[in-house]
Structure 1
Amino acid sequence: MEPDTQTYPRATTPPAPLTLDRREGPFGEVVLRERGEHFEIIANGCFLMDTSDGRSERLLIDAALRSLPAGRTGPSVLIGGLGVGFSLVRAAEEERWGRIVVVEREQAIVDWHRQGPLDRISGAALADPRTEVLHTDLVAHLRTATERYDALCLDIDNGPDWTVTEDNGSLYSPTGLAHCHDRLTPGGVLAVWSAQPSPAFEQALRNAGFNGVRTEEVAVARGVPDVVHLASRSH
């Protein structure tokens, strides 16, 4: 995902990135870089996310929880994409969540959190007894799993209109959205992160049978805001 707009003091040059690790995996190259005090994840040369501002990742979790039916006890959440860990950390900070399942297909990213420098961000959340990490492809998991979740919080691309790999596009197709719908409990919530609003995706959610389709934005000083697309399965 793209970071929120960041400014630097006048006449100050952003620090050059330092590559900490580079891996070739089944889906291509993933790189962990350090830039000043922040970390960046690059996939196949495409900037995914960094640790400069986690507001939109936190919104992904918070908006889903707010959207659940009142009175639901210990709801379960599936987080699609471990990333830099902000969404997982936010979920673990909220005691109302019951089971927290993270699906991450890149073993390198899991390693960076468990034995690498991203442990300083997610270490406590990964140690939370509610947390489980599944090393598998999210699209395949949604297609083959039988378990249902109260919330699906998905953040594996720069948005429905800008996927990291071509295969990810199927997640936002009618078939992929049908799988998401099937993996939700009645009244469950689908939340999808995007680097920009997508009216076409909103319509696709309605066409897939979701209710309460809406978009929440993260305010930025300039440029296009990050958003979270939200939709609910009917009771």
Structure 2
Amino acid sequence: MPLSYDIPEVLDRREGPYGEVVLRRHGELLQIIANGCFLMDTSDGRSERLLVDAALTALDERPAPEVLIGGLGVGFSLAHAAADPRWGRITVVERERAVIGWHLDGPLAALSGPALADPRTKIEEADLLDYVNETSATFDALCLDIDNGPDWTVTEGNDSLYSPAGLAGCARVLRPGGVLAVWSAQPSPEFEGTLGNAGFQQVRTEEIPVARGVPDVVHLAVRPAVRPG
């Protein structure tokens, strides 16, 4: 008998300002594809949960800390933050209108619905780099889950977020002692150096254990209580 393979089913395909984004179903998984490159799916979520938990732990039990999440994705980070009553305001910045729609009234609503209904949650449709450079709001934590991390970006222009100028914008929206947590598909010693050179302190990396291959990681850094210089 010939082998049968699941063929991904395209649920929606949109052309946005940053290229094509596709939502597809592959077996039980929902997948987001950007410009033909796989970005993420609903298979796990451990690294996204670590992104949120590591930031909260590093805040040393600051009461009702407010968090800015960069990237809505499949909603793991938002759902995990909203499930924790210790967080205060939860703001998510997502630049793809299609992704926001898939959560509001599409297939991803089953994962993020309770979080979106939470009164602490607010969704901002914007490019994160523009947002951090223009907003007057400040936060205790900034959790970045943009693209595949600092060393391999799918969408042109996303690499600027991990540059010294991009990190300066991140520091701008963080309160003194605030935490920056950055998800990456692989460890990046070079990015650790960039964080230190940008004035962040207590730079460290936490890995997600995997059976084989390169682990996902979360890079953590703290904005000094007093700005240098």
TM range (shorter): over 0.9
State the secondary structure of the residue aligned to 1:39.
strand
C-alpha distance in 2 between matches for 1:14 and 1:212: 47
AA matched with 2:139: Y
Q: 1:227 aligns with which of 190, 198, 217?
A: 217
- In 2, Cα distance between the equivalents of 1:29 and 1:14? 26
Q: In structure 2, what is the Cα distance between the partners aligned to 1:41 and 1:209?
A: 34
2:92 — aligned with what?
A: 102
Question: Residue 34 of structure 1 aligns with which residue?
Answer: 25
Paired residue for 1:145, among 135, 138, 143? Answer: 135
Task: State the AA in 2 paired with 1:42.
Answer: I
Q: Give the 5 Å matches for 1:60-79.
A: 60-70=51-61, 72-79=62-69
Alignment of 1:54-65 (within 5 A): 54-65=45-56
Aligned to 2:108: 118
Question: 1:44, 1:137 → 2: CA distance?
Answer: 17
142-151 or 195-204, which moves further after superposition? Answer: 142-151
Which residue identity is paired with 1:146?
A: S
Superposed CA RMSD in Å reads 1.2
Aligned mate of 2:173, from 166, 183, 190 = 183
Cross-structure match for 2:187: 197
What amino acid is the match of 1:130? R
Name the structure 1 match of 2:13: 22
Unaligned runs of 5+ in 2: none
Alpha-carbon distance in 1 for matches of 2:111, 2:12: 17
1:122-141 aligned at under 5 Å gives the runs 122-141=112-131
Aligned length: 224
2:52 partner SS? helix
How high is the TM-score relative to the length of structure 2?
Answer: 0.95
2: distance between equivalents of 1:40 and 1:194?
18
Task: Please list, as runs of the form range in 1=range in 2, the aligned pairs for 1:156-175 lying within 5 A after superposition.
Answer: 156-175=146-165
Distance 2:135 2:153 in 1: 23
> For residue 124 of structure 2, what is the amino acid of its counterpart?
L
1:29-76 deviation per Cα after TM superposition (whole angstroms, max 9, x unaligned): 000000111100000011100000110010110000001133x11100
SS at match of 1:191: strand
Q: Which has the larger displacement, 57-66 or 159-168?
A: 159-168
Q: Which residues of structure 1 form unaligned runs of 5+? A: 1-10
**Residue type matched to 2:77 in 1?**
S
Shift of the alpha carbon at 1:143? 1.2
Amino acid at match of 1:139: L
- Runs of 4 or more off by more than 6 Å in structure 1? none
TM-score scaled by structure 1?
A: 0.93
* Higher RCO by CA contacts (8 Å cutoff, separation 6 or greater): 1
Alpha-carbon deviation of 1:16? 1.5
Give the counterpart letter for 2:49 in structure 1: R
* Worse overlay, 218-227 or 143-152: 143-152
Question: In structure 2, what is the equivalent of residue 84 of structure 1?
Answer: 74
Residue type at the aligned position of 2:81: A
1:2-21 CA deviation, whole Å, 9 max, x = no partner?
A: xxxxxxxxx98652210000
